[in-house]
Structure 1
Amino acid sequence: MAEERFTCRWAALSLSNIASVFLPDLLHLRESSASIKHELVSVSTTGGASRAADWLKQNKIPNAESIIVYHSWEEMLEKGDFDVVYISTPHPLHYAHVQKALQCKRNVLVEKPATMNRAQFTQLCNLAKEVNVVLMEAMWTRYLPATLYFQHKLLPRIGDVKRVYAEFSFPIVSPDLSHESRFLDKAAGAGSLLDQGVYALTWADLALNGLTSSQDKTQTEVVYAHSMPVPGVQGDVDDINTIILNKIKINESGGKQQEAVAIVTTSMTLPGSSKPAFYQRLQATKAAPAVRIEATKASVSVPFPPIRPQELYVQWYDEEHLDENGFETDEVIKMPVERGWGIWYQADVIAERVARRNGNDQGTGEVIGEEESGRVIGWMDRAREMAGIVYDAALEQV
């Protein structure tokens, strides 16, 4: 008997720049055999009706005339008829927007970083469970085919991971970028650590903790962080960041032994040309891999951009894989995104959870990727503290 198809109805809180990438990606035509279909049924915007209509047209949103436009996000959350709300406002607003959505018993996909700090994220996780809904951070990189292949197929085979280099830099800031841009506005959470470091730290987490179970007595902590600000910009917007993580194993007597190290770097001013359009810059060819994971049996490299991996380069150096002269052997694993940017993979994940829960009172809600997202946000908290990256206290309140 064919599986019944679930149509996941979405609401968009904010017609942001990232929403203009996510929503068209979400609404790509699916195969008739697909178990999930997505529809956009409502949006909220502080702009007028004509702006919303223009935005939907420019982004080629199907059935735009049937989409309900709210000019109050609170009203949409309180009265709208949809399955999941996608929240893509600037990250200092995430906490209040997600909190209200959860209070209205809405399933939520919120852009990364989910919150400004770990304390806010913990509060939202607890609330989601309390009101029996699904919450998920939109860390789409974790759900791409190449990432899943690395975590579930390669990571168990390459031996113990000992060293990780995770880098995500590209020239977001150009000489002609207005100082009023969100990317340079500390009140909007600007800074390469929150904007880019969340991705690089996610790769460090995948490499160091991708196989870790709750029974493993290990911990990964930030031991060093340094930051250089964007030159010529007021407010000390962080730019060139360096973070060192240590993975520690705790033995039965309570002693600690270092298992692995990760070096994580970001920049929003280099390397590369800032002349091409934003998303062209994001896909430019870089001289070095963005991620390199070195383990006892092999190393794995991920080319730029690490947010959207489609190939994995593996060099094997264990006895089983050496050639007849004792040299390393190379393997290239191609795992292309099936269509569009691939942001829709994460949408399928939350839609499947919502479909599974519909009509079945689970008694408690769930947070997809709670442990992983919480770890990365906690590392960013510690890195900011050590590197002196400071935001207005009002943005951090719980």
Structure 2
Amino acid sequence: MSTYKELSPSLRTIMTPGPVEVDPRVLRAMSYPVLGQFDPEFTGLMNETMSMLRELFRTGNEWCFPVDGTSRSGLEAVLVSLIRPGDRVLVPIFGRFGHLLAEISERCGAEVSVIETEWGTVFDPETVIKTIHHLKPDLVAIVHGETSTGQMQPLEEIGKACRELDILLVVDAVATIGGTPVEADAWMLDAVIGGTQKCLSIPSGMAPITYNSRSEQKLLSRKRIERGLADPAVGRSATRPVTDAIRSNYFDLSQLQDYWSPMRLNHHTEATSMLYALYEGLRLVLTEGLEERFARHRRNEIALMAGLQAMGLEFYGNQASKLPVVTCPQIPEGIDGEQVRSMLLHEFGIEIASSFGPLKGRIWRVGTMGFSCRQTNVLQVIGALEAVLLRCGFRLPAGEAVQAALDVYAGK
């Protein structure tokens, strides 16, 4: 007889930079019957999902589809498919996830150059552009919204410069897609990777991506090399090196796009229930309307900041480049940040995040993303944080924080 308990996870108010609360309609969609991956009904869902992703990424790209796996799978798929061993790659770093892009690029065999700016800031685009002109890389990989520091990098000028120099620009938009504008075409982004578990309010497990014909041309040239070397008509004496072939099978975009094309060439068994979740999550985003959704995220951000400021908390980083969906209050002197987080979780059922590396113990990170980005959640986290801080000995004007947030919602 089994002694294992029935699965019954605690109900939480999740106000982290991801994962966030999942819309109940998405959870319901995941419970629907499984279809075969080549069932016409299912391939119809695949086509509609690609269409919705084009609207989300604001692009006319043919290729908009999810990679099965967490957000990092999308990053790896794009980089391993576009980076030839020996390619020069530039990674501008302004937080933890820039270092991740550099690491993945190195694993792909690239000659990686990095430039760094102080955490809590972003790059003046001209600084990046000057470096691009100096290094002349084959590819630039950059984060759009850096959740480790709560900062968002302007991309339009960088995209224009890369296009003029025929350099591929790959963007990590995991934290921003669905919460703030991401303009794949207008900003001239060659490949963009999103995430499901943040502003889209879908469980982690798929990475929506898009890439344009410039990117496709490069990855297909590698695909032809790989197949050509295996073709007896070409033979092993071909001068094209086998090391130039895409090194991953699972993350080979040239094979994945064949799977998502009308050919439906079998590559892997699609994650059926996750595709249901992505479909429904995208439908909800587009039903709300992108501009309306961005405005909702902005309104809740402003209310949250008003409440935190009324408590006497200060914010980390340059507020002119603040990431709209992540707010980073500094932990007051003499306050144990982890004790506060623990009390919020265990006494109020609310989760906020700590941070990484040099910021660990210095800031909290509060996310206002997707389904978690609601007035009730914002008011709850403000009231609970005020109570916990008072309990921990931090002197603040009791009651003013929630009133400040309510003033924002009232339009005062």
TM-score scaled by length of structure 1:
0.29
Higher strand share: 1
TM-score scaled by length of structure 2:
0.29
Greater RCO, 1 or 2 (C-alpha within 8 Å, sep 6+): 2
The structure with the largest alpha-carbon Rg is 2
Higher helix share: 2
